[in-house]
A and B are shown apart, each in its own frame.
Chain A
Amino acid sequence: MEINGVTKQVLDVIDSYGFKQEGAYNLRLDGMAVCHGDSRHIHIVKKEDVAGIDIFISGEARNEQVHIPVVMTKEGIDVVYNDFYVEDGADVTIVAGCGIHGSGCSESRHDGIHSFHVGKNANVKYVENHYAEGPKSASKVLNPVTKIYVGEGSVFTLETAQIKGVDRTKRETFVELSEGAKLFVTEKLMTDEEQDAVSDMEIRLLGEHSSAQIISRSVAKGTSRQVFHPKAIGENLCRAHVQCDSIIMDKAEVSSIPEINARHVDAQIIHEAAIGRINDEQMMKLQTFGLSEEEAEGVIIENFLR
Protein backbone atom coordinates (compact mmCIF):
# COMPACT_ATOMS: atom_id res chain seq x y z
CA MET A 1 0.00 0.00 0.00
CA GLU A 2 1.17 3.52 -0.81
CA ILE A 3 1.58 5.62 2.36
CA ASN A 4 1.08 9.37 1.93
CA GLY A 5 3.56 12.04 3.05
CA VAL A 6 1.81 13.17 6.25
CA THR A 7 1.31 9.58 7.44
CA LYS A 8 4.90 8.70 6.67
CA GLN A 9 6.14 11.76 8.53
CA VAL A 10 4.12 10.78 11.62
CA LEU A 11 5.25 7.14 11.35
CA ASP A 12 8.88 8.25 11.30
CA VAL A 13 8.38 9.95 14.66
CA ILE A 14 6.38 7.26 16.43
CA ASP A 15 8.19 4.17 15.11
CA SER A 16 11.82 4.66 16.07
CA TYR A 17 12.66 1.19 14.71
CA GLY A 18 11.43 2.21 11.25
CA PHE A 19 8.03 1.12 9.95
CA LYS A 20 8.11 -1.18 6.95
CA GLN A 21 5.39 -3.19 5.29
CA GLU A 22 7.36 -6.35 5.90
CA GLY A 23 7.09 -9.19 8.41
CA ALA A 24 4.36 -8.79 11.02
CA TYR A 25 2.70 -5.38 10.99
CA ASN A 26 -0.63 -3.62 11.14
CA LEU A 27 -1.18 0.04 10.29
CA ARG A 28 -4.31 1.67 11.61
CA LEU A 29 -5.09 4.93 9.84
CA ASP A 30 -8.06 7.14 10.75
CA GLY A 31 -9.90 4.35 12.54
CA MET A 32 -9.32 1.66 9.90
CA ALA A 33 -6.76 -1.14 9.65
CA VAL A 34 -5.38 -0.23 6.21
CA CYS A 35 -2.67 -2.82 5.77
CA HIS A 36 -1.32 -5.77 7.63
CA GLY A 37 1.05 -8.66 7.32
CA ASP A 38 1.93 -11.82 9.20
CA SER A 39 5.27 -13.46 9.68
CA ARG A 40 5.99 -17.13 10.20
CA HIS A 41 5.76 -16.80 13.97
CA ILE A 42 3.45 -13.82 14.40
CA HIS A 43 -0.17 -13.82 13.26
CA ILE A 44 -2.50 -10.84 13.36
CA VAL A 45 -6.26 -11.44 13.34
CA LYS A 46 -8.86 -8.70 13.09
CA LYS A 47 -11.41 -8.77 15.90
CA GLU A 48 -15.00 -9.49 14.94
CA ASP A 49 -16.87 -7.83 17.81
CA VAL A 50 -14.93 -4.63 18.46
CA ALA A 51 -12.31 -2.53 16.68
CA GLY A 52 -8.86 -3.98 17.09
CA ILE A 53 -6.67 -6.99 16.53
CA ASP A 54 -5.48 -10.14 18.25
CA ILE A 55 -1.77 -10.77 17.89
CA PHE A 56 -0.53 -14.32 18.36
CA ILE A 57 3.19 -14.70 18.95
CA SER A 58 4.59 -18.20 18.73
CA GLY A 59 7.09 -19.60 21.20
CA GLU A 60 9.35 -20.13 18.18
CA ALA A 61 9.76 -16.37 17.69
CA ARG A 62 13.35 -15.30 18.30
CA ASN A 63 14.37 -11.67 18.29
CA GLU A 64 11.38 -10.82 16.07
CA GLN A 65 9.51 -7.55 15.72
CA VAL A 66 5.88 -6.67 15.17
CA HIS A 67 4.86 -3.10 14.32
CA ILE A 68 1.33 -1.87 15.03
CA PRO A 69 1.30 1.93 14.69
CA VAL A 70 -1.80 4.11 14.72
CA VAL A 71 -2.03 7.38 12.80
CA MET A 72 -4.92 9.84 12.98
CA THR A 73 -5.19 12.63 10.45
CA LYS A 74 -8.89 13.30 10.92
CA GLU A 75 -11.06 14.45 13.80
CA GLY A 76 -13.05 11.95 15.82
CA ILE A 77 -12.72 9.32 18.50
CA ASP A 78 -11.01 6.02 17.82
CA VAL A 79 -11.25 3.33 20.48
CA VAL A 80 -9.28 0.20 19.71
CA TYR A 81 -8.71 -3.07 21.56
CA ASN A 82 -5.50 -4.96 20.86
CA ASP A 83 -4.77 -8.25 22.61
CA PHE A 84 -1.38 -9.94 22.52
CA TYR A 85 -0.95 -13.62 23.24
CA VAL A 86 2.70 -14.48 23.75
CA GLU A 87 3.59 -18.16 23.99
CA ASP A 88 6.14 -19.66 26.37
CA GLY A 89 9.72 -18.90 25.40
CA ALA A 90 8.98 -16.26 22.73
CA ASP A 91 11.42 -13.39 22.24
CA VAL A 92 9.73 -10.41 20.62
CA THR A 93 9.74 -6.63 20.33
CA ILE A 94 6.38 -4.97 19.82
CA VAL A 95 6.56 -1.47 18.41
CA ALA A 96 3.31 0.42 18.88
CA GLY A 97 2.57 4.10 19.20
CA CYS A 98 0.09 6.67 18.06
CA GLY A 99 0.58 9.86 16.14
CA ILE A 100 -2.08 12.49 15.58
CA HIS A 101 -1.82 14.99 12.76
CA GLY A 102 -4.52 17.36 14.00
CA SER A 103 -6.62 19.47 11.69
CA GLY A 104 -9.82 21.48 11.99
CA CYS A 105 -11.03 22.63 15.36
CA SER A 106 -12.52 19.67 17.16
CA GLU A 107 -11.04 16.73 19.01
CA SER A 108 -8.93 13.86 17.67
CA ARG A 109 -8.80 11.16 20.30
CA HIS A 110 -7.30 7.69 20.35
CA ASP A 111 -7.92 5.28 23.20
CA GLY A 112 -5.70 2.24 22.75
CA ILE A 113 -6.63 -0.56 25.11
CA HIS A 114 -3.83 -3.13 25.03
CA SER A 115 -3.69 -6.43 26.89
CA PHE A 116 -0.64 -8.65 27.02
CA HIS A 117 -0.94 -12.28 28.05
CA VAL A 118 2.64 -13.48 28.37
CA GLY A 119 3.47 -17.16 28.93
CA LYS A 120 6.46 -18.61 30.74
CA ASN A 121 10.12 -17.72 30.14
CA ALA A 122 9.34 -15.26 27.37
CA ASN A 123 11.08 -11.98 26.66
CA VAL A 124 8.83 -9.16 25.51
CA LYS A 125 9.74 -5.58 24.81
CA TYR A 126 6.88 -3.17 24.19
CA VAL A 127 7.77 0.27 22.82
CA GLU A 128 5.09 2.93 22.61
CA ASN A 129 5.66 6.48 21.38
CA HIS A 130 2.94 9.09 21.47
CA TYR A 131 3.11 12.24 19.43
CA ALA A 132 0.79 14.90 18.03
CA GLU A 133 1.09 17.86 15.70
CA GLY A 134 -1.23 20.41 14.16
CA PRO A 135 -3.04 23.63 15.03
CA LYS A 136 -3.87 24.62 18.60
CA SER A 137 -7.57 24.68 17.75
CA ALA A 138 -7.55 20.91 17.21
CA SER A 139 -7.49 19.09 20.51
CA LYS A 140 -5.26 16.01 20.46
CA VAL A 141 -5.99 13.39 23.10
CA LEU A 142 -4.45 9.98 23.82
CA ASN A 143 -5.73 7.74 26.59
CA PRO A 144 -3.85 4.43 26.57
CA VAL A 145 -4.82 1.56 28.84
CA THR A 146 -2.19 -1.15 29.13
CA LYS A 147 -2.80 -4.42 30.97
CA ILE A 148 0.11 -6.79 31.26
CA TYR A 149 0.06 -10.28 32.71
CA VAL A 150 3.59 -11.68 32.91
CA GLY A 151 4.02 -15.44 33.28
CA GLU A 152 6.61 -17.34 35.31
CA GLY A 153 10.20 -16.44 34.58
CA SER A 154 9.31 -14.00 31.81
CA VAL A 155 10.81 -10.56 31.31
CA PHE A 156 8.64 -7.66 30.16
CA THR A 157 10.17 -4.33 29.19
CA LEU A 158 7.81 -1.41 28.70
CA GLU A 159 9.15 1.78 27.17
CA THR A 160 6.75 4.64 26.72
CA ALA A 161 7.42 8.16 25.55
CA GLN A 162 5.23 11.17 24.95
CA ILE A 163 7.45 14.03 23.98
CA LYS A 164 5.42 16.52 22.02
CA GLY A 165 2.06 17.87 21.00
CA VAL A 166 -0.44 15.79 22.99
CA ASP A 167 -2.94 18.13 24.69
CA ARG A 168 -4.39 15.65 27.12
CA THR A 169 -3.47 12.16 28.17
CA LYS A 170 -4.66 9.80 30.83
CA ARG A 171 -2.47 6.76 30.92
CA GLU A 172 -3.48 3.68 32.86
CA THR A 173 -1.08 0.80 33.30
CA PHE A 174 -1.81 -2.39 35.18
CA VAL A 175 0.75 -5.20 35.58
CA GLU A 176 0.66 -8.58 37.30
CA LEU A 177 3.89 -10.50 37.80
CA SER A 178 4.06 -14.25 38.40
CA GLU A 179 6.88 -16.20 40.03
CA GLY A 180 10.30 -15.04 38.92
CA ALA A 181 8.84 -12.54 36.42
CA LYS A 182 10.71 -9.32 35.83
CA LEU A 183 9.32 -5.97 34.76
CA PHE A 184 11.30 -2.97 33.52
CA VAL A 185 9.33 0.21 32.85
CA THR A 186 10.73 3.43 31.43
CA GLU A 187 8.24 6.24 31.08
CA LYS A 188 9.24 9.53 29.48
CA LEU A 189 6.98 12.50 29.24
CA MET A 190 7.23 16.13 28.23
CA THR A 191 4.35 18.58 28.39
CA ASP A 192 4.21 22.23 27.35
CA GLU A 193 1.71 25.09 27.03
CA GLU A 194 -1.62 24.07 28.60
CA GLN A 195 -1.17 20.33 28.20
CA ASP A 196 -2.33 17.90 30.82
CA ALA A 197 -0.97 14.42 31.58
CA VAL A 198 -2.00 11.86 34.15
CA SER A 199 -0.25 8.53 34.58
CA ASP A 200 -1.65 5.90 36.89
CA MET A 201 0.28 2.69 37.26
CA GLU A 202 -0.40 -0.36 39.38
CA ILE A 203 2.18 -3.12 39.61
CA ARG A 204 1.19 -6.25 41.49
CA LEU A 205 4.10 -8.49 42.40
CA LEU A 206 2.23 -11.73 42.97
CA GLY A 207 4.89 -14.40 42.50
CA GLU A 208 7.89 -15.30 44.61
CA HIS A 209 11.12 -13.65 43.36
CA SER A 210 9.25 -11.33 41.02
CA SER A 211 10.79 -7.90 40.53
CA ALA A 212 9.93 -4.55 39.03
CA GLN A 213 11.94 -1.48 38.14
CA ILE A 214 10.00 1.61 37.16
CA ILE A 215 11.80 4.72 35.98
CA SER A 216 9.70 7.74 35.16
CA ARG A 217 11.26 10.93 33.87
CA SER A 218 9.33 14.02 32.89
CA VAL A 219 9.73 17.64 31.93
CA ALA A 220 6.86 20.08 32.47
CA LYS A 221 6.98 23.44 30.67
CA GLY A 222 4.59 26.34 30.15
CA THR A 223 1.46 26.05 32.28
CA SER A 224 1.18 22.30 31.75
CA ARG A 225 0.20 19.87 34.50
CA GLN A 226 1.43 16.37 35.22
CA VAL A 227 0.27 13.86 37.80
CA PHE A 228 2.08 10.58 38.45
CA HIS A 229 0.61 7.91 40.63
CA PRO A 230 2.68 4.74 40.53
CA LYS A 231 1.64 2.05 42.95
CA ALA A 232 3.66 -1.09 43.69
CA ILE A 233 2.04 -3.89 45.65
CA GLY A 234 4.23 -6.69 46.98
CA GLU A 235 2.29 -9.84 47.72
CA ASN A 236 5.23 -12.21 47.98
CA LEU A 237 9.00 -12.32 48.37
CA CYS A 238 9.72 -9.67 45.75
CA ARG A 239 11.59 -6.50 44.97
CA ALA A 240 10.35 -3.28 43.41
CA HIS A 241 12.05 0.04 42.81
CA VAL A 242 10.07 3.04 41.60
CA GLN A 243 11.94 6.19 40.64
CA CYS A 244 10.15 9.35 39.47
CA ASP A 245 12.20 12.40 38.46
CA SER A 246 10.70 15.55 37.06
CA ILE A 247 12.13 18.80 35.80
CA ILE A 248 9.74 21.68 36.34
CA MET A 249 9.95 24.87 34.29
CA ASP A 250 8.01 28.10 33.75
CA LYS A 251 4.63 27.94 35.50
CA ALA A 252 4.03 24.22 35.22
CA GLU A 253 2.75 21.94 37.95
CA VAL A 254 3.91 18.41 38.72
CA SER A 255 2.49 16.02 41.28
CA SER A 256 4.19 12.78 42.13
CA ILE A 257 2.11 10.58 44.38
CA PRO A 258 3.99 7.46 45.36
CA GLU A 259 2.22 4.48 46.80
CA ILE A 260 3.98 1.35 47.96
CA ASN A 261 2.11 -1.45 49.59
CA ALA A 262 3.63 -4.59 51.09
CA ARG A 263 1.53 -7.61 51.92
CA HIS A 264 4.39 -9.98 52.63
CA VAL A 265 7.21 -9.79 55.14
CA ASP A 266 9.81 -10.39 52.40
CA ALA A 267 8.52 -7.72 50.04
CA GLN A 268 11.13 -5.01 49.48
CA ILE A 269 9.69 -1.94 47.82
CA ILE A 270 11.43 1.39 47.35
CA HIS A 271 10.04 4.59 45.95
CA GLU A 272 12.09 7.66 45.11
CA ALA A 273 10.56 10.83 43.78
CA ALA A 274 12.13 14.17 42.99
CA ILE A 275 10.89 17.34 41.34
CA GLY A 276 13.15 20.29 40.70
CA ARG A 277 14.20 22.96 38.26
CA ILE A 278 17.12 22.52 35.88
CA ASN A 279 20.29 22.36 37.90
CA ASP A 280 22.28 25.62 37.63
CA GLU A 281 25.60 23.80 37.85
CA GLN A 282 24.70 21.57 34.91
CA MET A 283 23.81 24.69 32.92
CA MET A 284 27.12 26.34 33.82
CA LYS A 285 29.12 23.25 32.95
CA LEU A 286 27.60 23.04 29.48
CA GLN A 287 28.08 26.78 28.99
CA THR A 288 31.80 26.30 29.64
CA PHE A 289 31.69 24.10 26.50
CA GLY A 290 30.50 27.16 24.58
CA LEU A 291 26.79 26.29 24.57
CA SER A 292 24.36 29.19 25.00
CA GLU A 293 21.84 29.11 27.84
CA GLU A 294 19.13 27.94 25.47
CA GLU A 295 21.32 25.23 23.92
CA ALA A 296 22.44 24.00 27.35
CA GLU A 297 18.82 23.76 28.51
CA GLY A 298 17.94 21.80 25.37
CA VAL A 299 20.81 19.34 25.89
CA ILE A 300 19.90 18.75 29.55
CA ILE A 301 16.25 18.04 28.69
CA GLU A 302 17.12 15.87 25.71
CA ASN A 303 19.49 13.72 27.77
CA PHE A 304 17.17 13.56 30.74
CA LEU A 305 14.45 12.16 28.49
CA ARG A 306 16.75 10.01 26.40
Chain B
Amino acid sequence: MLQVEHLSYEVTAEGRQSEILSDVSFSVADGEMLVITGPNGGGKSTLAKLLAGINRPTGGRILLDGKDITELSIDERAKAGIGFAFQQPPRFKGMTVRRFLNLAAGRSLTEDECCGLLGSVGLCAMEYIDREVDATLSGGEVKRIEIATVLAKEHDLCIFDEPEAGIDLWSFSMLVKRFEKIHKERKAGMILISHQERIIRMADRIMVISNGQVERMGGAGEVMPQLFGEEVESCACRQQKGGVLCGD
Protein backbone atom coordinates (compact mmCIF):
# COMPACT_ATOMS: atom_id res chain seq x y z
CA MET B 1 0.00 0.00 0.00
CA LEU B 2 1.26 3.42 -0.97
CA GLN B 3 0.44 6.43 1.17
CA VAL B 4 1.33 9.92 0.06
CA GLU B 5 0.96 12.61 2.69
CA HIS B 6 1.01 16.36 2.00
CA LEU B 7 3.59 16.06 -0.74
CA SER B 8 5.03 19.31 -2.07
CA TYR B 9 7.72 20.12 -4.58
CA GLU B 10 9.21 23.54 -5.11
CA VAL B 11 11.94 24.62 -7.46
CA THR B 12 14.03 27.76 -7.52
CA ALA B 13 14.66 29.20 -10.94
CA GLU B 14 16.31 32.54 -11.59
CA GLY B 15 16.05 33.38 -7.91
CA ARG B 16 12.30 32.81 -7.83
CA GLN B 17 10.60 29.99 -6.02
CA SER B 18 7.77 28.23 -7.76
CA GLU B 19 5.59 25.46 -6.46
CA ILE B 20 5.17 22.56 -8.89
CA LEU B 21 3.17 20.37 -6.50
CA SER B 22 1.31 21.52 -3.45
CA ASP B 23 -0.05 19.43 -0.57
CA VAL B 24 -0.84 16.28 -2.54
CA SER B 25 -2.23 13.41 -0.48
CA PHE B 26 -3.62 10.09 -1.66
CA SER B 27 -3.17 6.36 -1.27
CA VAL B 28 -3.06 3.31 -3.53
CA ALA B 29 -4.03 -0.03 -2.01
CA ASP B 30 -2.42 -3.31 -3.09
CA GLY B 31 -4.08 -4.43 -6.31
CA GLU B 32 -5.68 -1.05 -6.87
CA MET B 33 -5.37 0.90 -10.11
CA LEU B 34 -5.16 4.65 -9.80
CA VAL B 35 -5.16 6.68 -12.99
CA ILE B 36 -3.78 10.19 -12.74
CA THR B 37 -4.91 12.56 -15.43
CA GLY B 38 -5.12 16.27 -15.97
CA PRO B 39 -3.81 19.02 -18.22
CA ASN B 40 -0.23 19.11 -19.48
CA GLY B 41 2.10 20.90 -17.09
CA GLY B 42 -0.21 20.20 -14.16
CA GLY B 43 2.38 18.20 -12.18
CA LYS B 44 1.56 14.55 -13.05
CA SER B 45 5.02 13.54 -14.20
CA THR B 46 6.62 15.46 -11.34
CA LEU B 47 4.53 13.46 -8.91
CA ALA B 48 5.58 10.20 -10.60
CA LYS B 49 9.24 11.20 -10.35
CA LEU B 50 8.85 12.05 -6.67
CA LEU B 51 7.38 8.58 -6.08
CA ALA B 52 10.24 6.89 -7.95
CA GLY B 53 12.87 8.93 -6.09
CA ILE B 54 14.13 10.76 -9.17
CA ASN B 55 13.27 14.07 -7.55
CA ARG B 56 13.09 14.70 -3.81
CA PRO B 57 10.01 16.39 -2.36
CA THR B 58 10.41 19.65 -0.50
CA GLY B 59 7.60 18.70 1.86
CA GLY B 60 5.47 15.75 2.94
CA ARG B 61 6.24 12.06 3.00
CA ILE B 62 5.78 8.83 1.08
CA LEU B 63 5.10 5.51 2.75
CA LEU B 64 5.19 2.09 1.12
CA ASP B 65 3.64 -0.69 3.19
CA GLY B 66 3.92 1.57 6.22
CA LYS B 67 7.63 2.24 5.73
CA ASP B 68 8.75 5.82 5.16
CA ILE B 69 10.61 5.83 1.84
CA THR B 70 10.78 9.62 1.38
CA GLU B 71 14.54 9.73 1.89
CA LEU B 72 15.36 6.59 -0.10
CA SER B 73 17.33 6.83 -3.34
CA ILE B 74 16.00 5.59 -6.70
CA ASP B 75 17.64 2.17 -6.39
CA GLU B 76 16.57 1.77 -2.77
CA ARG B 77 12.99 2.47 -3.78
CA ALA B 78 13.29 -0.04 -6.60
CA LYS B 79 14.45 -2.61 -4.07
CA ALA B 80 11.58 -1.59 -1.80
CA GLY B 81 9.19 -2.60 -4.60
CA ILE B 82 8.58 0.38 -6.90
CA GLY B 83 8.70 -0.13 -10.67
CA PHE B 84 8.78 2.89 -12.94
CA ALA B 85 8.27 3.33 -16.69
CA PHE B 86 9.53 6.65 -18.01
CA GLN B 87 7.43 8.83 -20.28
CA GLN B 88 10.47 9.39 -22.51
CA PRO B 89 12.79 6.46 -21.96
CA PRO B 90 16.50 6.91 -22.69
CA ARG B 91 18.34 4.92 -25.34
CA PHE B 92 21.51 2.97 -24.68
CA LYS B 93 24.32 2.39 -27.15
CA GLY B 94 25.56 -1.18 -27.06
CA MET B 95 22.77 -2.47 -24.76
CA THR B 96 20.83 -5.35 -26.27
CA VAL B 97 17.13 -5.77 -25.51
CA ARG B 98 17.92 -9.13 -23.89
CA ARG B 99 20.50 -7.64 -21.54
CA PHE B 100 18.20 -4.72 -20.76
CA LEU B 101 15.38 -7.09 -19.76
CA ASN B 102 17.78 -9.20 -17.68
CA LEU B 103 18.91 -6.09 -15.81
CA ALA B 104 15.29 -5.10 -15.29
CA ALA B 105 14.41 -8.56 -13.98
CA GLY B 106 17.52 -8.71 -11.80
CA ARG B 107 18.29 -12.17 -13.16
CA SER B 108 18.94 -14.04 -16.38
CA LEU B 109 15.63 -14.54 -18.14
CA THR B 110 15.03 -17.58 -20.29
CA GLU B 111 14.37 -17.21 -24.00
CA ASP B 112 10.71 -18.02 -23.36
CA GLU B 113 10.41 -15.40 -20.63
CA CYS B 114 11.94 -12.72 -22.90
CA CYS B 115 9.57 -13.74 -25.70
CA GLY B 116 6.60 -13.55 -23.37
CA LEU B 117 7.56 -10.09 -22.13
CA LEU B 118 8.18 -8.67 -25.58
CA GLY B 119 5.07 -10.35 -26.95
CA SER B 120 2.97 -8.74 -24.22
CA VAL B 121 3.96 -5.30 -25.48
CA GLY B 122 3.42 -6.23 -29.13
CA LEU B 123 7.02 -6.87 -30.17
CA CYS B 124 8.23 -9.97 -31.96
CA ALA B 125 10.99 -11.35 -29.76
CA MET B 126 12.95 -12.96 -32.60
CA GLU B 127 13.25 -9.60 -34.27
CA TYR B 128 14.14 -7.55 -31.21
CA ILE B 129 15.93 -9.63 -28.61
CA ASP B 130 19.44 -9.08 -29.97
CA ARG B 131 18.90 -5.55 -31.20
CA GLU B 132 20.32 -2.63 -29.31
CA VAL B 133 18.14 -0.20 -27.36
CA ASP B 134 19.64 2.67 -29.33
CA ALA B 135 18.63 5.24 -31.90
CA THR B 136 17.90 2.53 -34.49
CA LEU B 137 14.65 1.80 -32.64
CA SER B 138 11.63 4.03 -33.16
CA GLY B 139 10.08 6.01 -30.33
CA GLY B 140 7.19 3.54 -30.11
CA GLU B 141 9.52 0.53 -29.99
CA VAL B 142 11.62 2.05 -27.20
CA LYS B 143 8.44 2.89 -25.31
CA ARG B 144 7.16 -0.68 -25.55
CA ILE B 145 10.48 -2.06 -24.36
CA GLU B 146 10.30 0.41 -21.48
CA ILE B 147 6.97 -1.05 -20.40
CA ALA B 148 8.36 -4.57 -20.74
CA THR B 149 11.19 -3.66 -18.32
CA VAL B 150 8.63 -2.88 -15.61
CA LEU B 151 6.72 -6.08 -16.35
CA ALA B 152 9.99 -8.07 -16.11
CA LYS B 153 9.79 -8.17 -12.32
CA GLU B 154 7.13 -8.28 -9.67
CA HIS B 155 6.67 -4.99 -7.87
CA ASP B 156 4.52 -3.81 -5.02
CA LEU B 157 3.72 -0.69 -6.99
CA CYS B 158 4.12 -0.04 -10.73
CA ILE B 159 4.11 3.48 -12.09
CA PHE B 160 3.61 4.05 -15.81
CA ASP B 161 4.04 7.61 -17.04
CA GLU B 162 1.89 7.99 -20.18
CA PRO B 163 2.39 4.42 -21.40
CA GLU B 164 0.27 5.10 -24.48
CA ALA B 165 2.49 7.89 -25.82
CA GLY B 166 3.96 6.99 -29.20
CA ILE B 167 2.36 3.54 -29.34
CA ASP B 168 0.32 2.47 -32.34
CA LEU B 169 -3.32 1.48 -31.95
CA TRP B 170 -2.80 -2.26 -32.28
CA SER B 171 -0.09 -2.33 -29.63
CA PHE B 172 -2.15 -0.01 -27.49
CA SER B 173 -4.97 -2.55 -27.40
CA MET B 174 -2.50 -5.27 -26.35
CA LEU B 175 -1.12 -2.99 -23.70
CA VAL B 176 -4.53 -2.23 -22.30
CA LYS B 177 -5.20 -5.99 -22.10
CA ARG B 178 -1.93 -6.47 -20.27
CA PHE B 179 -2.82 -3.75 -17.77
CA GLU B 180 -6.24 -5.34 -17.32
CA LYS B 181 -4.57 -8.69 -16.63
CA ILE B 182 -2.25 -7.21 -13.99
CA HIS B 183 -5.21 -5.42 -12.50
CA LYS B 184 -7.27 -8.61 -12.34
CA GLU B 185 -4.46 -10.44 -10.56
CA ARG B 186 -4.84 -7.81 -7.85
CA LYS B 187 -1.29 -8.13 -6.61
CA ALA B 188 0.57 -4.94 -7.39
CA GLY B 189 -0.80 -1.48 -6.96
CA MET B 190 -0.69 0.49 -10.19
CA ILE B 191 -0.43 4.15 -10.99
CA LEU B 192 -1.03 5.05 -14.60
CA ILE B 193 -0.59 8.59 -15.80
CA SER B 194 -2.70 8.88 -18.89
CA HIS B 195 -4.89 11.01 -21.09
CA GLN B 196 -6.54 8.02 -22.80
CA GLU B 197 -10.15 7.38 -22.01
CA ARG B 198 -9.75 3.62 -22.41
CA ILE B 199 -7.07 3.58 -19.72
CA ILE B 200 -8.95 6.00 -17.50
CA ARG B 201 -12.01 3.72 -17.71
CA MET B 202 -10.02 0.83 -16.23
CA ALA B 203 -9.25 2.76 -13.07
CA ASP B 204 -10.58 1.90 -9.64
CA ARG B 205 -10.06 5.54 -8.84
CA ILE B 206 -9.19 8.60 -10.86
CA MET B 207 -7.15 11.54 -9.65
CA VAL B 208 -7.15 14.78 -11.61
CA ILE B 209 -4.11 16.95 -11.05
CA SER B 210 -4.14 20.53 -12.20
CA ASN B 211 -1.89 23.45 -11.26
CA GLY B 212 0.07 21.20 -8.91
CA GLN B 213 -2.93 20.26 -6.84
CA VAL B 214 -5.42 17.44 -6.61
CA GLU B 215 -8.44 18.88 -8.34
CA ARG B 216 -10.69 15.85 -8.15
CA MET B 217 -10.41 12.34 -6.82
CA GLY B 218 -12.91 9.54 -6.89
CA GLY B 219 -14.24 6.39 -8.52
CA ALA B 220 -14.56 6.11 -12.29
CA GLY B 221 -18.35 6.47 -12.10
CA GLU B 222 -17.98 9.72 -10.23
CA VAL B 223 -15.10 11.42 -12.05
CA MET B 224 -15.56 10.14 -15.62
CA PRO B 225 -18.77 12.06 -16.39
CA GLN B 226 -17.22 15.25 -15.07
CA LEU B 227 -14.06 14.61 -17.02
CA PHE B 228 -15.48 13.71 -20.39
CA GLY B 229 -19.02 15.05 -20.16
CA GLU B 230 -17.72 18.60 -20.21
CA GLU B 231 -15.58 17.93 -23.21
CA VAL B 232 -18.00 15.99 -25.41
CA GLU B 233 -19.11 19.07 -27.29
CA SER B 234 -15.66 20.36 -27.97
CA CYS B 235 -13.92 17.08 -28.52
CA ALA B 236 -16.44 14.53 -29.69
CA CYS B 237 -13.72 12.50 -31.39
CA ARG B 238 -12.17 11.44 -28.10
CA GLN B 239 -14.65 8.61 -27.85
CA GLN B 240 -13.39 5.19 -28.55
CA LYS B 241 -15.46 2.99 -30.80
CA GLY B 242 -14.89 -0.67 -31.60
CA GLY B 243 -11.37 -0.63 -30.23
CA VAL B 244 -10.31 2.22 -32.48
CA LEU B 245 -9.15 5.41 -30.91
CA CYS B 246 -9.78 8.70 -32.56
CA GLY B 247 -7.97 11.85 -31.62
CA ASP B 248 -5.41 12.65 -28.96
Contact = CB atoms under 8 A, between A and B. Distances in A.
| A-B interaction | yes
B160 interface: no
A292 B75 CA distance: 6
A299 interface: yes
A303 B54 contact: no
B92 A282 contact: yes
A288 interface: yes
A71 to B, nearest CB: 28
B74 interface: yes
A291 B74 CA distance: 9
Nearest to A281: B90
Interface in A276-306: 279, 281-282, 284-293, 296, 299-300, 303-306
A303 B73 contact: no
A217 interface: yes
A245 interface: yes
Contacts of A306: 94
B64 to A, nearest CB: 14
A263 B39 CA distance: 56
Contacts, number: 53
Contact of A287 (B74, B89, B149): B74
Size class of the contact patch on chain A: 20 to 34
B52 interface: yes
B79 A290 contact: yes
A199 B83 CA distance: 43
Given A284-B54, A284-B74, A289 B149 contact: yes
A291 B99 CA distance: 14
B75 A290 contact: yes
B126 interface: no
A299 B103 contact: yes
B78 interface: yes
B92 A303 contact: yes
A287 B84 CA distance: 10
Interface residues of B, number: 22
A291 B73 contact: no
Contact of B94 (A284, A285, A289, A305): A305
Nearest to A291: B75
A287 B103 contact: no
Contacts of A245: 93
Contacts of B78: 287-290
B237 interface: no
B89 A288 contact: no
B247 interface: no
Given A284-B74, A289-B78, A292-B75, A304 B90 contact: no
A292 B103 CA distance: 12
A304 B74 contact: no
Q: Which of A289, A296, A299 has the most CB of B within 10 A?
A: A289
B108 to A, nearest CB: 14
A80 to B, nearest CB: 32
A303 B94 contact: yes
B93 A217 contact: yes
B93 A288 contact: no
Contact of A288 (B83, B92, B94, B99): B83
Interface of B: 52, 54, 73-75, 78-79, 82-84, 86, 89-90, 92-95, 99, 103-104, 106, 149
Given A289-B78, A289-B106, A305-B94, 19 more contacts: A217-B94, A279-B90, A281-B86, A282-B92, A284-B74, A285-B90, A287-B73, A287-B75, A288-B78, A289-B104, A290-B75, A290-B78, A290-B106, A299-B103, A303-B93, A303-B95, A303-B99, A304-B94, A306-B94
Interface of A: 217, 245, 279, 281-282, 284-293, 296, 299-300, 303-306
14 contacts: A217-B93, A217-B94, A281-B86, A284-B74, A286-B103, A287-B73, A289-B75, A290-B79, A291-B103, A292-B75, A299-B103, A303-B92, A304-B93, A306-B94
In the A-B complex, the 5 residue pairs with the smallest Cβ-Cβ separation, listed nearest first, are A287-B74, A281-B90, A303-B94, A290-B78, A303-B95
